[in-house]
Structure 1
Amino acid sequence: MSNASLLARSLAAVWHPCTQMQHHEQLPLLPITGGDGPWLIDADGRRYLDAVSSWWVNLFGHNEPRIKAAITAQLERIEHVMLAGFTHEPVVELSERLGALTGLGHAFYGSDGASATEIALKMAAHYWRNRGQPQKNRFVYLQDSYHGETLGALSVTDVPIFRDAYAPLIRANFMVMSPDARQAQEGETAADVAERAALALETTLAAHHEEIAALIVEPLVQGAAGMAMYDAQYLRRARALCERYGVLLIADEIAVGFGRTGTLFACEQAGIKPDLLCLSKGITGGYLPLAVVLSSDEIYTAFYDQDVRRGFLHSHSYTGNPLACAAALATLDIFASDDVLTTNRAKAARWNAGPFAALASHPRIRHWRTQGMIWAGDVSTAPAGFARRLFLAGLQQGVLLRPIGSTLYFMPPYILRDADADRLAQCTLAALNTVLAE
């Protein structure tokens, strides 16, 4: 089937996410029919280097044989069974392994990142209700944060284009200063910005802790804020402040978990443990939808009772799907067998000194920054429509780029080779210079 045929059928039948569909009259969809490692292949056989891991989910490339084999093997046993009143080996083993990795003893499953946020918010408020403090039902979130697009998630998200249309449906919560290191004033370090942000957080908690259930943060990197990166000191201070004021800490590692920041989970770099940990995206290597919220034993115990009303009243039809859990187990196996984190650190060091150095020194790029396997830079005086124009220019060069506003970033699959990194940098520079010269 040709690109044109698949494109026409999609436009006639599919309502695409986060998209103004009329734009596709001028900006055609890209019909993908195959994948090979870090490459996407369209219906006409053209190949595109997937520099954003297909919306940050794909860790080990498309058509990874070990993950495919795990899914196939599970398919021969059972494809799905409801988790209410039943259990199965993959979900038990995955929960045990995640608990051992995080120190958080119980796993509650959903299907995507936004559902993980909803679970965590509801769980936090219900925890306090079960503790006899039902007034603690509001939340604190960071400026420029993004936690999903369902209504609860939007109530702790600071992205106007997502919030404004649904403002009448969204409950008000408390927004505090982001520790984004780009806010550094003359003479300040990233740690100084983190301290200023922590002081702002303390002011809010001191004034409102009696009605606050939890603080929710994206550890180390705020993705939708243009890959805003900050010092781990903020997480340490936030953890201590939450304990002081009797507020739970929710770590949203939906985007940054599973090695993106250089450690398996970003919170490790601050030496802290949250009360609730949200995971999704890379948990299955990008192969099947799955989300999980890991909770402390203290939170779990507050729900443990004969009274159904004290139980956690939340469910999804596909909770803990065996196929998705099998993919997640295979993903964890690959981390262990391939020593992924060590390999990634070596790759990042080579690429920072090599191919990505030209981007870091580009005269129009400001605040070039990196955290683990994430790279980003802000394009100064970017032309109107920059994100869309760079996306199109990248496709012409054979790379999939998806800028956030005027921020150019890479979040590639971990299997990227040095030659692929060279190509990514060269093609991105060519696309960027083309757009800036228009």
Structure 2
Amino acid sequence: KVWWPFTQHGSIKADEDITLIDAAHGDNFITVDSDGDRKPLFDACASWWTQGVGHGESSMALAAAAAAGRYGHVIFPDTVNDPAVSLAERLLSSKGPGHNWASRVFYSDDGSTAIEVGIKMAMKQYAILHGKNLADNNGNLVVLAQEDCYHGDTLGCMDVAVPSVYNEGQHPWYQPRGLFLETPTLGFVEGTCKILNSGADLSDDDLKFGGIGAAMDVASRLSTPLYAQYRDDISAKWGAFESSTEQTLGCVVMEPLLMGAGGMKFIDPLWQRALVDEARARRVPVLYDEIASGMLRLGYMSCKDVLGVAPDVACYAKLLTGGLVPLSVTLATDEVFQAFYGEDKAQALLHGHSYTAHPVGCAASLHALDAYDRVLLKDDDGNHNNSGYFDEDEVQKLSLHPLVSESFALGTVLAVKLVGSGSGYTAVSISKPVVEHLRRHGGVFARPLGNVVYIMVSPFTKAEECQKLTEVLKDAIDAVAADHGTAA
């Protein structure tokens, strides 16, 4: 009687198409097959990218239970409670993603809504900076975002994306509202780490790296010709858009380093840095959608540590509560907060939820952040860096497989793009038999994104387990290659 999300029920043909999860612990589901046999499967999609401290973690359950027993749920406007205040302080502290830039934390229920709130914040700040009235803009104030982006399924978030299976035909009011730029990506192709879709007039050698670390070293790359070309290209397209339409770009919305639902695409951080720098020059607020990429998912509490520049607004969810319950936050600078400050209620940010800042979620988040702090590594400069869960040499070798067009890994995410057409949920490829082999023979529960098969672990997954998962993935690709008559 359930209606599954992101699922075509007509594709469910037999009981074997459904996975019965009886329990979960650590990184594993405990599944039950049609014969009643129990089998552990590694949760390689991190339960839609939420898992942080592991399934069924007892101390997390106790922390949430304590908040439930003490508070249940209590109203939040004009009130305070210890979990909500403590979490806000933690997120803004030296150990949080808002360190040294954010001054306020706004609570909401899920990632999509956090983005909706963030867009309201950024657009209001733009209006204040440029002496405009949001009520008089006639829908002409729009966003600059990345092509193939995905920010959620509420209407405002749907509008911050080009037409796709996620939005076109899903809602009669959907209308793409913005300029959507093609985004340069990173990947190992035939053993070489390189930039794809750069659009730059440079030699192929100028787009190659000795490894992932060199690609992530934005500070060292700012003086390169590629940065200048990125900046010029973004500026030209920005200017052409505004001069050829009646629309104005009021904020930049980006998924830093990784576009998840768009096909697990790793973005060249230098391009994103150039985009932020151009926005700063034009006094346009920037929103980081770190729903999927933040909180150590890519090895950093915030991707600003790679880009080298902070946003005006940033959104977090998924790993925020360690994977236990829904909760999201939108962080903002004091300048953004001041855009809503005054005596008139109509000037305030009039947005909220019944369960805003619910104590159970805030307590779970505090527990998760304490846990993450125990696994944080620091580089020589004292910056947090947990970027290397998967062995880079093994990731590179995967790109040499004849059924693999590219591979890449950062933090807890390994993604392999298989030969096929397109990306995202509508793509056609051989990913389905690879995933089926992983489940039946590899003990791994994975979900493809079109022609991309990915493995996502938790910040607590050991390197030995990541190595095993990489090997199991290669075995699955080898098995499918053999079935297709393609030798590895």
Both proteins in one fold, TM over 0.5: yes
Aligned mates of 2:450, 2:124 — CA distance in 1: 37
SS of the counterpart of 1:389? helix
Contact 2:407 2:417 in 1 (8 A): yes
Q: Return the letter of the residue paired with 1:423.
A: K
Point out the more displaced range, 371-380 or 206-215: 206-215
**Alpha-carbon deviations, 1:124-182, whole Å to 9, x = none?**
22334456412373111111111111111111123611121136412332211213232
Contact 1:334 1:340 in 2 (8 A): no
Q: Return the letter of the residue paired with 1:25.
A: K
2:38 matches 1:34: no
Aligned mates of 1:63, 1:300 — CA distance in 2: 38
Q: Return the letter of the residue paired with 1:104.
A: A
Equivalent residue for 1:379? 418
2:388 to 348, 359, 381: 348
C-alpha displacement at 1:434, in angstroms?
Answer: 3.0
1:285 to 309, 314, 322: 322
SS of the counterpart of 1:17? coil
**Alpha-carbon deviations, 1:334-368, whole Å to 9, x = none?**
122343678x96783663345x5553432322222
Q: Percent identity?
A: 27
C-alpha displacement at 1:82, in angstroms?
Answer: 1.7
Aligned mates of 1:346, 1:264 — CA distance in 2: 9
RMSD of the alignment, in Å? Answer: 2.6
Aligned mates of 2:331, 2:77 — CA distance in 1: 18
SS of the counterpart of 1:164? coil
After TM superposition, the structure 1 = structure 2 runs for residues 12-27 of structure 1, keeping only pairs within 5 Å, are 13-26=1-14
1:121 to 119, 122, 143: 119
2:61 matches 1:68: yes
Closer/same/farther in 2, CA of residues 61 and 154 from structure 1, 3 Å limit: same
Equivalent residue for 2:400? 361
Contact 1:140 1:173 in 2 (8 A): yes
2:315 matches 1:315: no
Q: Which has the higher helix share?
A: 1
Equivalent residue for 1:394? 438
**Alpha-carbon deviations, 1:224-246, whole Å to 9, x = none?**
23221223222322222112112
After TM superposition, the structure 1 = structure 2 runs for residues 32-431 of structure 1, keeping only pairs within 5 Å, are 32-43=21-32, 44-100=37-93, 101=96, 102=98, 103-129=101-127, 132-133=131-132, 134=134, 135=137, 137-158=141-162, 160-166=164-170, 168-171=172-175, 172-180=177-185, 181-184=195-198, 186-189=204-207, 196-207=229-240, 208=242, 211-339=248-376, 348=388, 351-353=391-393, 356=395, 358-381=397-420, 384=428, 386-397=430-441, 398-431=443-476
Aligned mates of 1:347, 1:239 — CA distance in 2: 23
**Alpha-carbon deviations, 1:14-69, whole Å to 9, x = none?**
10001111111246221112112111111342110111211111012111233222
Point out the more displaced range, 211-220 or 127-136: 127-136
Closer/same/farther in 2, CA of residues 279 and 336 from structure 1, 3 Å limit: same
Q: Return the letter of the residue paired with 1:177.
A: E
SS of the counterpart of 1:169? coil
C-alpha displacement at 1:407, in angstroms?
Answer: 1.4
C-alpha displacement at 1:381, in angstroms?
Answer: 4.1
C-alpha displacement at 1:70, in angstroms?
Answer: 1.3
Contact 2:418 2:429 in 1 (8 A): no
Structure 1 unaligned residues grouped into runs of 5+: 1-12
Aligned mates of 1:338, 1:178 — CA distance in 2: 32
Equivalent residue for 2:192? none
TM-score, length-scaled by structure 1: 0.89
Contact 2:396 2:407 in 1 (8 A): no
Q: Return the letter of the residue paired with 1:57.
A: T
SS of the counterpart of 1:378? strand
Aligned mates of 2:450, 2:266 — CA distance in 1: 16
Structure 2 unaligned residues grouped into runs of 5+: 186-194, 208-214, 216-220, 422-426
Contact 1:126 1:312 in 2 (8 A): no
Contact 1:249 1:275 in 2 (8 A): yes
Point out the more displaced range, 262-271 or 251-260: 262-271
Closer/same/farther in 2, CA of residues 200 and 170 from structure 1, 3 Å limit: farther
Aligned mates of 2:54, 2:362 — CA distance in 1: 18
Contact 1:109 1:319 in 2 (8 A): yes
**Alpha-carbon deviations, 1:231-279, whole Å to 9, x = none?**
3222322222112112110000000001122221111111111000011
Contact 2:122 2:286 in 1 (8 A): no
Q: Return the letter of the residue paired with 1:67.
A: M
C-alpha displacement at 1:314, in angstroms?
Answer: 0.9
